[in-house]
Amino acid sequence: MRHLARLAAPALLAAALSAPGRAAAQPMTDSFDMLLAPPQGRSQHVAMMLVTPQPGRALPAVVILPDEAGLDGRTARLADAVLARGWIGIEVDPEPLSLDGAAVPPPPTPPRLGRLLRALHEALQTDDRIDPRRIAVIGLGPGGRAAIHAALGDGRPGFAAHAAFYPGCTALAAEQEEPPEAPALLLVPGAEEAEEACAGLGALVKRMAGATYGWDHLMSGAMRRWTATGSTPIRSDVAVAAAAEAALTEFLLEAFSRVR
């Protein structure tokens, strides 16, 4: 598991590689801590890592939220997929584990995290590296439900798109007050999610046949996910992970192209 360093000021790390006769733009990474103050709820410091593939340009951006396991290889691969499209990747860790594992954060509350993401969206609109009209949000598990709940629902411009990997449609339906106004995508595990569970959520649903929760957790050995209601198996699937990432980036490409 990777942890973001909490810094008092942004740390800009740029690699400078040059070809004969010209300088090549290299991705720039900015790790920082931002204080967010949503209209409802408590203010909170949030650790973030922003990587832009082309410094000096205002580009589409994708906010990436983990599940309760925190930032790991899954969020890193999504960030890499975003960068490969020429967009900015922003990994967000709203409730990180302590480095020694002694301080365990409270269970994620997706509606509350959704409000935090709305405040983050407002803050990101002021960053001159980001195209303010083309900011999307995606998440894993409960983080995916938070990404769906980040819709404003009041007519104001919000995120350009929302997406969730294995969010748990039953839980999402129980939490959701209204469907998002912007395009939304749910990528759900075909081995676990009932056909009817994802109906009426106002989102495009793509079922990953035979997949379980955390299909993109590409680690060897048997794994299980433990929750308050018990445990479920996790089966790594490289092919499903690649197909899900491709479906996600194509969905985001279409959503960004609709924005004028």
pLDDT given for residue 33 in this prediction: 87
Give start and end residues of each alpha helix (H) in 25-109: 73-84
pLDDT given for residue 98 in this prediction: 44
Cα→Cα distances 15→24, 28, 54, 118, Å? 10, 7, 12, 32
Least confident range from 24-33, 98-107, 172-181: namely 98-107
Least confident range from 27-31, 134-138, 226-230, 247-251: namely 226-230
Average pLDDT of the chain to the nearest whole number: 83
| 226 vs 163, residue with greater confidence | 163
> Residue 140 has what DSSP assignment?
E
Reading the block at residue 150, the tokens are 């980040």
The dihedral built from the CA positions of residue 110, 66, 258 and 157, taken in this order, carries a sign that is positive
pLDDT given for residue 222 in this prediction: 66
The dihedral built from the CA positions of residue 78, 122, 52 and 8, taken in this order, carries a sign that is negative
pLDDT given for residue 16 in this prediction: 29
pLDDT given for residue 22 in this prediction: 41
Answer whether 188's CB lies under 8 Å from 205's CB.
yes
CA 211 to chain centre: 20
Q: Is the pLDDT of residue 53 over 70?
A: yes
Work out the percent of the chain whose per-residue pLDDT is above 70. Answer: 80
Domain boundaries, the chain: 26-208+249-258
| 43 vs 205, residue with greater confidence | 205
**DSSP letters spanning 146-176:** HHHHT---SSS---SEEEEES--HHHHHHH-
| Tokens 């990436």, located at residue | 64
CATH no. for 26-208+249-258: 3.40.50.1820
pLDDT given for residue 135 in this prediction: 98
Q: Is the pLDDT of residue 165 over 90?
A: yes
